[in-house]
A = this chain, B = another copy of it.
Amino acid sequence: MSMNERFIGIPGGRWQLNTPSLLLDLDAFERNVTVMAGQVQKSGLALRPHAKAHKSVAVAQRQIGAGAIGICCATLGEAEVLDAAGIPGLLVTSPVVTPAMIARLASMPGEVMVVAEDGGNVTALEQAFAAAGRRLPLLVEVDVGQRRTGVASPQQAVDLARRIAASAHLEYRGIQAYWGHLQQVPDFAERRRVVQRQAEIVRAVTAALREAGLPPAIVTGGGTGTALIDAELGLFTELQPGSYLFMDSSYGRAALWPGGASPFETSLFVRANVVSVNRAEHAVINAGLKSFATDSGLPFAARGAPAGTTYKFMGDEHGALVYAEASNARLALGDGVECVVSHCDPTVNLYDFLHCVRGDRLVEIWRIDARGR
């Protein structure tokens, strides 16, 4: 249980929270859920949003409630947690390879779809599901330029799809094609250009599969940064964005969006308190390397700090809010500040709870159920 339960519903409860705490602005979050669902629906595609951003049953339920056909999971641990909560349409978007993890997959109560890219792995999956007396739906993972996972050619895709289709306990369902490396190409027109170029791989793989009598029923991929573009390609049957829920500062950069304005709002904040004001040049807050992911740059104080203040890491549990030179405004001991994070997925993974706020109220606390899994 969160130590902030007792602040739920109290006027001004938001300002009294124990910190560092992860906040979710529910109004902005709900608009993000609705806007993405509407955009994808308008394009005639299905939405299977990615749980790697939120790892939370409560969030997945709201995505399903807004029309999503299922939820993507980056790990087996995420899928186990969501499956146990009755979330339908789960897809594990990375290969499940080792004996221990294949055994977990074969013993999961619900039906979960996974991706594969290796013939030996397909054989191991067939054996495990034969032993369990069950069937496993599979997608062929296609490398569309990220050089991370996936088959490297249309011929390899056909060979693997054939092997899956010929396996008694596997069901060939289609392909996954995810361009993670293109999600944040800064300029929208340039991003569209490189996506269209990489889409030729998907087109060639799809054509080869059709020709081999193995047309993909599912073509899944896409992310927050490319969703608008992915939807116009005529290749995907469904999209799997995740970060649109929260909009970290990496995805929030205006240049990323056509016309310079994101259709999504920042809904995720780290709330912290000032714990030292003994230095003229900065105040120190109780949020450091253990409160923010550090791979994509610095957080910034969006609320509660004087304009122009910048954040500086000061160790595992502390950060400095450095005042702008021209500013005379100063923070006081105990003041609360709320920071926008630079990368939402690994930041959410640092916390056990999302503190859902509307205005000055804490209205609910959602568990980040699959944190660390």
Contacts and interface: CB of A to CB of B under 8 A. Distances in A.
Given A275-B94, A278-B118, A75 B317 contact: yes
Give the interface residue-count category, chain A. Answer: 35 or more
B278 A94 contact: no
Interface in A141-182: 143, 146-152, 180
Contacts of A152: 278-279
A39 B151 CA distance: 55
A294 B352 CA distance: 20
Interface stretch (A96-104, A129-137, A196-204, A302-310): A96-104
Nearest to A20: B75
Interface string A329-370: 000011000000001011001111000000000000000000
A213 interface: no
Contacts of A314: 146, 148
Given A94-B275, A275-B94, A346-B289, A18 B316 contact: no
Contact of A18 (B3, B101, B289, B350): B101
A101 B7 CA distance: 13
A79 interface: no
A147 B321 CA distance: 12
Interface in A262-288: 273-279, 281-282, 284, 286
Interface string A308-328: 000001111110100000000
A303 B333 CA distance: 47
A37 to B, nearest CB: 23
A19 interface: yes
Nearest to A101: B18
Contacts of A126: none
A216 interface: no
Contacts of A289: 293, 295, 343, 345-346
